[in-house]
């Protein structure tokens, strides 16, 4: 099989959450452990950082990658979903793994994968572990896919666990209260392994403290008390300062066993994008017209993004928005300001909000809007409508990023 044939097979033959939603979700560790065993995967040899959270996982993961690379470490990075190329999920020092590595892995293991009925995320997790081991990464940053306790990545024994943020997301799988969601995310806390809690509501502290105490795990709250320092960075958006503080808190704990320098940490923050290959977070992709894309997809993420955008200089804001139907998109639409223009779009996935969904909800809300069948059509119309000093914001789903970046 060629690389493209493998990618097509993964997305067409293997159930995956990105395309199909909850029907493809396969919680639990037995499946991935069996796959790892059957493919002789040396994952237990990896030194890792394990990251869970509702928002901020991708940012904190990429910031930490940049920090560790700046110190000369070879850094693996496993995140999801991807925007343009499947290999973006598995990077080493900011570069996607070689297509030939993917081809070799699947040509060797396709039979076992099919025999076990492994899920998409189990497969990509195993592929990442093998890549990081084979390429002799000094440390690998592993982002959970969904939740924590039952996530396929939760087979590792990391150097440190990180929980970036807790919000109402994936409630069908993780619970319908912040406390239940926090408990699921806290499932990545391991015995005697330090854990850093990022931008978290204080009322959730007891959830994490209880589990950390049970595990005899030292716990650190990155944002407990005091004002945040401001760090110079190439990442747009003041919300990234909170992610930076979480990453620095992780680095300070790591510095007890790894050689990390405060000045070099600060210097690395100026080149997070270049070192880590970060995309899709307040990323400007065009100047005329000015277009910013951001993969914010849940209520808290969209609210934070719009607060950041309001600080920018523009005449009129035009928003291209599409989202998955398992998000609280009705609340997001209800909070959209009538001052802006909206270009709502569906996309090629069973998870997409449909035209009918949009039309039904928008009857309750007075917004200047149009609805399109795909992101490219929505953006083209938005660009043709835009005046010289207008700002175009594309947000709501990674699917939009794939078609637009």
Q: Are residues 309 and 211 in the same domain?
A: no
Q: Are residues 187 and 309 in the same domain?
A: no
What pLDDT shows up at residue 300?
83
Confidence of residue 228 (pLDDT cuts 50, 70, 90): confident
Q: Which one, of 397, 227, 383, lies nearest residue 305 by Cα?
A: 397
pLDDT at 398 over 90: no
Q: Token pair for residue 271?
A: 């080149």
The phi-psi region of residue 9 (left if phi > 0; otherwise alpha if psi is between -120 and 50; otherwise beta) is alpha
Q: Are residues 253 and 330 in the same domain?
A: no
Residues in the chain: 405
Structural domain range at position 168: 3-276
Q: Are residues 267 and 313 in the same domain?
A: no
pLDDT at 342 over 80: yes
β-strand 90-92 against 160-165: which pairing, if any? unpaired
pLDDT at 23 over 50: no
Mean pLDDT of the chain: 91
> Rounded to an integer, what distance in angstroms lies between the CA atom of residue 122 and that of residue 104?
17
Percentage above 70 pLDDT, the chain: 94
Q: Are residues 272 and 291 in the same domain?
A: no
Domain end position, chosen among 276, 291, 319: 276
Confidence of residue 168 (pLDDT cuts 50, 70, 90): low
Question: Residues 104, 132: contact at Cβ < 8 Å?
Answer: no
Least confident of 85-94, 298-307, 337-346: 298-307
pLDDT at 16 over 60: no
Report, as an integer, the average pLDDT of 13-41.
74
Q: Are residues 99 and 208 in the same domain?
A: yes
pLDDT at 213 over 70: yes
pLDDT, tens digit (0-9, with 9 covering 90-100), for 359-388: 999 999 999 999 999 999 999 999 999 999
Q: Token pair for residue 235?
A: 């990442």
> Rounded to an integer, what distance in angstroms lies between the CA atom of residue 213 and that of residue 57?
24
Q: Which one, of 93, 83, 85, lies nearest residue 271 by Cα?
A: 93
What pLDDT shows up at residue 24?
46
Tally of domains within the chain: 2
Q: Are residues 194 and 342 in the same domain?
A: no
What pLDDT shows up at residue 17?
45
SS3 annotation, 76-134: EEECCCCCCCHHHHEEECCEECCHHHHHHHHHHHHHHHHHHCCCHHHHHHHHHHHHHHH
pLDDT at 20 over 60: no
Residue 294 parent element (H or E): strand 290-294
Q: Are residues 272 and 287 in the same domain?
A: no
Domain end position, chosen among 276, 308, 331: 276
Instruction: Please tell me which residue, 169 or 102, carries the higher pLDDT value.
Output: 102
Sign of CA dihedral 43, 49, 55, 59: negative
Q: What is the CATH number of the domain that holds 235?
A: 3.40.1190.10
pLDDT, tens digit (0-9, with 9 covering 90-100), for 111-136: 999 999 999 999 999 999 999 999 99
What pLDDT shows up at residue 227?
75
Q: Are residues 88 and 113 in the same domain?
A: yes
pTM over 0.85: yes
What pLDDT shows up at residue 26?
61
Q: Are residues 359 and 233 in the same domain?
A: no
What pLDDT shows up at residue 22?
45
pLDDT at 166 over 70: yes
Q: Token pair for residue 98?
A: 């070689």
What pLDDT shows up at residue 403?
79
What pLDDT shows up at residue 328?
83
Domain end position, chosen among 226, 260, 276: 276
What pLDDT shows up at residue 169?
64
Torsion of CA 371, 373, 375, 378, to 10 degrees: -40
What pLDDT shows up at residue 175?
58
Q: Are residues 259 and 290 in the same domain?
A: no
> Rounded to an integer, what distance in angstroms lies between the CA atom of residue 184 and that of residue 84?
30
Q: Are residues 393 and 270 in the same domain?
A: no
């Amino acid at each position: 099989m060629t690389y493209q044939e493998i990618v097509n097979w993964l997305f067409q033959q293997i159930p995956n959450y990105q395309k199909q939603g909850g029907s493809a979700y396969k919680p639990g560790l037995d499946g991935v452990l069996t796959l790892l065993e059957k493919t002789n995967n040396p994952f237990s040899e990896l030194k890792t950082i394990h990251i869970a959270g509702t928002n901020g996982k991708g940012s904190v993961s990429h910031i930490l990658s940049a920090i560790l690379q700046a110190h000369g470490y070879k850094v693996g990075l496993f995140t999801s979903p991807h925007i343009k190329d499947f290999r973006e999920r598995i990077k080493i020092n900011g570069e996607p793994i070689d297509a030939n590595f993917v081809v070799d892995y699947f040509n060797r293991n396709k039979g076992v994968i099919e025999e076990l009925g492994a899920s998409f995320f189990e497969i990509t997790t195993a592929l990442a572990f093998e890549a990081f081991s084979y390429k002799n990464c000094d440390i690998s940053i592993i982002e959970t896919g969904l939740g924590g306790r039952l996530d396929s990545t939760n087979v590792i024994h990391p150097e440190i666990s990180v929980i970036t943020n807790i919000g109402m997301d994936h409630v069908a799988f993780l619970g319908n209260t912040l406390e239940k969601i926090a408990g699921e995310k806290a499932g990545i806390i391991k015995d005697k392994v330090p854990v850093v809690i990022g931008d978290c509501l204080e009322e959730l502290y007891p959830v994490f403290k209880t589990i950390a105490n049970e595990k005899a795990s030292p716990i650190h709250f990155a944002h407990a008390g005091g004002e945040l320092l401001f760090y110079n960075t190439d990442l747009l958006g003041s919300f990234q300062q909170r992610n930076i503080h979480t990453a620095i808190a992780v680095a300070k704990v790591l510095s007890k066993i790894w050689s990390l320098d405060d000045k070099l940490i600060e210097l690395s923050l100026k080149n997070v994008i270049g070192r880590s290959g970060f995309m899709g977070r307040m990323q400007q992709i065009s100047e005329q017209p000015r277009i910013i894309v951001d993969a914010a997809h849940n209520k808290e993420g969209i609210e934070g993004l719009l607060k950041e955008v309001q600080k920018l200089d523009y005449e009129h804001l035009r928003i291209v928005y599409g989202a998955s139907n398992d998000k609280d998109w009705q609340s997001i639409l209800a909070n959209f300001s009538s001052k802006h223009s909206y270009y709502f779009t569906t996309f090629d996935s069973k998870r997409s909000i449909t035209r009918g969904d949009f039309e039904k909800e928008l009857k309750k809300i007075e917004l200047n809007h149009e609805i399109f069948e795909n992101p490219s059509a929505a953006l083209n119309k938005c660009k043709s409508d835009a005046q010289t000093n207008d700002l175009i914001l594309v947000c709501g789903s990674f699917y939009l990023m794939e078609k637009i970046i």
